C-alpha cells in the first residue's frame, strides 16, 4: 500500500471499522486480517485496537468478552444503535466528499 493511500485511509478508518461491524460482530484480530485481505496492508493491529477502545469509550459499540482456548478472553465488538447513527453520518460525509472530488477531477481534465 502506497504512502498516499495510507494517509488517505487514516481519516476514514473509523468509518471503515464501524462499517465492518455493521455487517457482523468481530474482534480486533479479525478486523485487521480482513483489512489486510482487502489490501490495506499497512494498518497496525495496535492502531485498530486503539480505535476500538475509542469507539467503545464513545458508546458506539458494545463489547462482549468471549473465552478463548489460548490466552485471555477475546473482546468481540458489535455496533449498537448510536454506532449505526454515527455510521450513517459517516456515509453522508463520504458521499459529499466523493462527489466533490469527482467534480474536481472532471473539471481538471
Partner 1 sequence: MATESNEEKGRYLRYLEVITGSLDDKRRYREYKARVRRLPENWRTAVEALERYLMHFGPMDGAGWISMYEDLADLVERSVADGTPVRDVFGEDPVEFVEAFMANYPAGRYRARERRRFTDAVRRAAGEAPGTEDEAG
Q: What is the contact surface with partner 1 in residues (CB under 8 A)?
A: 28-29, 32, 42-47, 49-51, 53-54, 57, 68, 70-72, 74-75
State the nearest-atom distance from the C-beta of 59 to partner 1, in Å: 13
Residue 13 near residue 43 (C-beta atoms within 8 A): yes
DSSP SS3 for 6: helix
Q: Kindly tell me which of 20 and 35 has the beta carbon lying closer to partner 1.
A: 35
Q: Kindly tell me which of 30 and 82 has the beta carbon lying closer to partner 1.
A: 30
Find how far residue 24's CA is from the centre of its chain: 13
Pairing of strands 26-27, 74-79: antiparallel
State the nearest-atom distance from the C-beta of 81 to partner 1, in Å: 22
Q: Kindly tell me which of 88 and 107 has the beta carbon lying closer to partner 1.
A: 107
Q: Could you tell me the end-to-end alpha-carbon distance of the chain, in angstroms, rounded to an integer?
A: 26
State the nearest-atom distance from the C-beta of 84 to partner 1, in Å: 22
State the nearest-atom distance from the C-beta of 37 to partner 1, in Å: 14
Q: Kindly tell me which of 14 and 87 has the beta carbon lying closer to partner 1.
A: 14
DSSP single-letter state for residue 73: P
Residue 22 near residue 79 (C-beta atoms within 8 A): yes
Amino acid at each position: 500500500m502506497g504512502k498516499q493511500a495510507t494517509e488517505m485511509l487514516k481519516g476514514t478508518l473509523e468509518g471503515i471499522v464501524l462499517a465492518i461491524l455493521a455487517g457482523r460482530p468481530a474482534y480486533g484480530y479479525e478486523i485487521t486480517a480482513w483489512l489486510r485481505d482487502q489490501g490495506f496492508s499497512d494498518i497496525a493491529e495496535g492502531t485498530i485496537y486503539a480505535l476500538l477502545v475509542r469507539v467503545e469509550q464513545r458508546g458506539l459499540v458494545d463489547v462482549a468478552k468471549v473465552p478463548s482456548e489460548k490466552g485471555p478472553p477475546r473482546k468481540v465488538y458489535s455496533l449498537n444503535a448510536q454506532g449505526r447513527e454515527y455510521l450513517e453520518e459517516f456515509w453522508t460525509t463520504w458521499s459529499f466528499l466523493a462527489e466533490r472530488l469527482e467534480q474536481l477531477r472532471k473539471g481538471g481534465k
